[in-house]
Amino acid sequence: MNAYDEYMKGIVGPMRSELTGAGFKELTTPKDVQEHMSTASGVSLIVINSVCGCAAGLARPAVVHALNELEVKPENLVTVFAGQDQEATATMRGYFEEVPPSSPSIAIWKDDKLAYFIPREQIESNSMETIKDHLSGVLSQVVSS
């Protein structure tokens, strides 16, 4: 591992643990993504994580707070890290090619298809509370339907 990779690993560690500490499984390789997507049943909440400020101040906190509010949670919580685990992220994005690549972003996967997608544009232009409420509402509908 070169000095840059080592440096970035140290920088993004807390960004990764913010989600893994909330119960998310990190998918760091294309194989991890393919395995999850081919075997997961029920609803998957997929967070495409990022090092940007809107991921740190808006997306990750909104996701964690939304999950804490839900009575019925998605069966699967997974994340890929854009810019860090590039091949895994590209593989995940291949499952919902109908939406442009966006990070951070939040995808809800159900019945082998994309049920809902929140792109970066809807994250960076809103408050954390608004994103949390939006995600909570959508998840409540998708999980219980």
Residue of 19, 48, 52, 80 with catalytic role: 52
Residue 52 annotated among the catalytic residues of the structure: yes
Rounded to 10 degrees, what is the CA torsion of 137, 93, 124, 17? Answer: 80
Residue of 54, 58, 77, 115 with catalytic role: 54
- 50: tokens are 């990022």
Do the Cβ atoms of 143 and 44 come closer than 8 Å?
no
**Residues designated catalytic:** 52, 54
